[in-house]
Amino acid sequence: MALFSKGKEVFGCPMDGEVRPLSETPDRAFADGLLGDGVVIFPSGDKVFAPSAAKVNFTFPTRHAVGLETKSGYEYLIHVGINTNQLKGEGFHIYVKPGDYVNKGQLLLEFDQKLLKEKNLSEATPIVFANVENDNIEVLKAGRVKANEDLMVVKK
């Protein structure tokens, strides 16, 4: 189980890629932390996995983003790409729906990296927490990461 002490939870990396500070996200709303604090991953693969055991709170009709909530109440968003909502779901396949419970490491969605490049859309994937301050997020890995490796420790 992801919990390892009072109020702290370890979150895995949702995809293969390169982890960078959220400020390096090409979208200003994410980069400025307006949508929450976290990190951005520039993916090297096309699969997105659950960083923790959680309930799926919502998915976007365009299938490019998933909102999750852990048993301990951490709410977070995985948003694949920047302006990918313009694709209206093309190139995305989602495997979960609101109300589903997922296990850490479970496949959430897949996306077509080639299509994003063809459409000149950034693959940058912010992972942001809606109810956690930035100083309560400890990033365990930077640079190259593999899916499901421990990525962050979050505390309230």
For the chain, the structural domain boundaries read 3-155
Long-range contacts of 58-65 (CB under 8 A, 24+ apart): 58/98, 59/94, 59/96, 59/97, 59/98, 60/85, 61/89, 62/87, 62/88, 62/89, 62/92, 63/89, 63/92, 63/93, 63/94, 63/109, 64/89, 64/92, 64/109, 64/111
Note the pTM of the prediction, 2 decimals: 0.93
The one catalytic residue among 12, 63, 79, 96: 79
Q: Is the model's pLDDT at 39 over the cut of 60?
A: yes
Q: pLDDT digit string (tens) for 67-122? A: 999 998 999 999 999 999 999 999 999 999 999 999 999 999 999 999 999 999 99
Residue 133: the pLDDT is 73
Return the percentage of the chain with pLDDT > 90, whole number.
Answer: 89
Is 64 annotated in the active site?
A: no
Tokens of 122: 């950034």
Residue tagged 């960078």 (tokens)? 20
Q: Which CATH superfamily is domain 3-155 in?
A: Glucose Permease (Domain IIA) (2.70.70.10)
